[in-house]
């Protein structure tokens, strides 16, 4: 049985990760540390775990070999840095760090330590995303020239996001830092390294962080990708569209449609695929399996993905502030 330590219950996904661990049959939550003991202690008690108030003492537990970090994003460099130094395997909520400099430092430490590291990119293992990846890699869309991904919700406009979600000293940013991570890591997974980024952000409800954001990324392979996100839109499913010279694919929520020259000559004919590839386990379960089986960092969920995501998101904030694109 893998003994897991939980680093903070701050993040909204902490409960979900705890549930998956408890139901895995392979791991259990052995101890919890939280920067706010008033939250952490009852959270630990609810899960039958020990609460440890001192972080160094928490990391010193020899029986805990893996940790799951749900802390405020701006605390990641210190907390994850110490966990890596203690040779703990690390699963973290995104982003790994809010700045490229901090992210590079953490990535170097992770690689040097040789630990199992996993960052939560929950849409990567889904059948729809894997299907789009197959189309691109097999050349079935021809030369891909453009793509877009949108993830948004009404957390600000419908007033259901918690107040602490707007504390930039903890979150590092707003919509782009949070939901914007999804379009960034999806398009990076599909198209590789970025060449330059242009960002634009607004706050129509005047919170202390960005509420509506777009980043346009030129990837090194020439694809132009649009990363769209917002806290101020209602009823929008995830939207992924990829455009090529021989066809395009449109993923709207659970619907997948493909148009290809081979299907309709020069005309446009959108069809549903006969089947989708089998999805993979969630990132947290891939992490648990990797720790138990000793197979190392899961593919596409390691430091390279973490660093690329931070680079693009940091650049989008710099671009929005300066009015200039950022070139790598």
Flag whether pLDDT at 262 surpasses 80.
Answer: no
- Both 237 and 295 in one domain: the answer is no
Provide the 8-state DSSP code for 277. P
Residue 33: give its domain's CATH number.
Answer: 3.40.50.720
Cα distances from 204 to residues 83, 163, 168, in angstroms, run 39, 17, 17
Residues 6 or more apart whose Cβ sits within 8 Å of residue 206: none
**Residue 226 covered by a domain:** yes
Mean pLDDT (whole number) for 45-63: 97
Q: Tell me the mean pLDDT in the region 5-24.
A: 97
Same domain, 315 and 181: yes
pLDDT at residue 39 in the model? 98
CA 106 to chain centre: 16
Nearest-CA neighbor of 210 among 236, 174, 177?
Answer: 174
Give the pLDDT of residue 285.
98
Pairing of strands 144-152, 2-7: unpaired
Q: Same domain, yes or no, for 14 and 151?
A: no
Whole-number Å distance between alpha carbons of 110 and 104: 10
Domain count across the chain: 2
Reading the block at residue 226, the tokens are 């649009």
Are residues 164 and 98 part of one domain? no
Q: What is the CATH number of the domain that holds 184?
A: 3.30.360.10
Q: Check pLDDT > 60 for residue 21.
A: yes
Q: Would you call 250 exposed, middle or buried from its count of C-beta atoms within 10 A (0-12, 13-18, 19+)?
A: middle
Same domain, 188 and 316: yes
- State whether 75 and 219 are in the same domain: no
Q: Is the pLDDT of residue 35 over 90?
A: yes
Asked whether the predicted pLDDT for residue 138 surpasses 90, the reply is yes
**Residue 209, pLDDT score:** 93
Same domain membership, residue 180 and residue 316: yes
Does residue 172 surpass a pLDDT of 70? yes
The DSSP code sequence of 15-76 is HHHHHHHHHSSSEEEEEEE-SSHHHHHHHHHHTT-EE-S-HHHHHH-TT--EEEE-S-GGGH
Answer whether residue 137 is part of any domain: yes
Share of the chain above pLDDT 90, in %: 93
Indicate whether 11 and 143 sit together in one domain: no
Q: 198 pLDDT exceeds 90?
A: yes
**How far apart (Å, rounded) are the C-alpha atoms in residues 131 and 190?**
11
Q: What is the pLDDT of residue 32?
A: 98
Partners of 202 in the beta sheet?
Answer: 212
63 and 11 housed in the same domain: yes
Query: Which segments of the chain are extended strands (E)?
Result: 2-7, 27-33, 50-51, 66-69, 89-92, 117-119, 144-152, 194-202, 212-219, 224-230, 239-244, 247-252, 255-260, 270-271, 326-327
Q: pLDDT-derived band of residue 145, with 50, 70 and 90 as boundaries?
A: very high
Please check whether residues 150 and 103 belong to one and the same domain: no
Average pLDDT for 300-326: 98
Mean predicted confidence (pLDDT) in 25-43: 98
Whether 152 has a pLDDT exceeding 60, the answer reads yes
- 49 and 159 in a common domain: no
In a domain, 305, yes or no: no
Q: Is the bond preceding 278 in cis, omega lying within 30 degrees of 0? A: no
Averaged pLDDT, 136-148 = 96
Which residues form the domain of 49?
2-120+283-299
Q: Specify the 3-state DSSP secondary structure of 190.
A: helix
DSSP state of 93: P
Task: Give the model confidence (pLDDT) of 269-306 as tens digits.
Answer: 678 888 899 999 999 999 999 999 999 999 999 999 99
């Amino acid at each position: 049985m893998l003994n897991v330590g939980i680093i903070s219950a701050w993040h909204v996904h902490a409960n979900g990760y705890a549930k998956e661990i408890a139901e895995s049959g392979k791991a259990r939550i052995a101890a919890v540390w939280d920067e706010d003991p008033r939250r952490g202690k009852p959270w630990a008690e609810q899960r039958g775990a020990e609460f440890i108030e001192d972080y160094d003492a928490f990391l010193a537990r020899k029986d805990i070999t893996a940790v799951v970090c749900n802390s405020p994003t701006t605390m990641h460099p210190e907390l994850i840095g110490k966990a890596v130094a203690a040779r703990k395997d690390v699963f973290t909520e995104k982003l790994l760090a809010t700045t490229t400099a901090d992210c590079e430092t953490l990535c170097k430490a992770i690689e040097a330590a040789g630990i199992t590291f996993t960052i939560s990119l929950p849409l990567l293992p889904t059948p729809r995303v894997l299907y789009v990846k197959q189309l691109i890699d097999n050349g079935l869309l021809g030369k891909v020239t453009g793509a877009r991904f949108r993830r948004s919700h009404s957390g600000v406009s419908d007033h259901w996001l918690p107040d602490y979600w707007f504390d930039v000293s903890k979150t590092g940013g707003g919509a782009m830092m949070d939901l914007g991570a999804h379009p960034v890591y999806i398009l990076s997974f599909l198209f590789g390294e970025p060449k330059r980024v242009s960002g634009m952000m607004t706050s129509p409800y005047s919170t202390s962080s960005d509420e509506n954001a777009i980043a346009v990324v030129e990837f090194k392979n020439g694809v132009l990708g649009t990363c769209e996100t917002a806290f101020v839109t209602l009823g929008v499913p995830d939207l992924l569209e990829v455009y090529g010279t021989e066809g395009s694919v449109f993923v709207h929520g659970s619907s997948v449609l493909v148009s290809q020259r081979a299907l309709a000559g020069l005309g446009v004919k959108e069809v549903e695929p006969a089947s989708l590839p089998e999805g993979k386990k969630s990132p947290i379960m891939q992490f648990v399996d990797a720790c138990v089986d000793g197979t190392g960092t899961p593919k596409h969920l390691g430091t390279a993905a973490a660093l690329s995501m931070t680079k693009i998101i940091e650049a989008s904030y710099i671009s929005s502030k300066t009015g200039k694109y950022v070139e790598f």
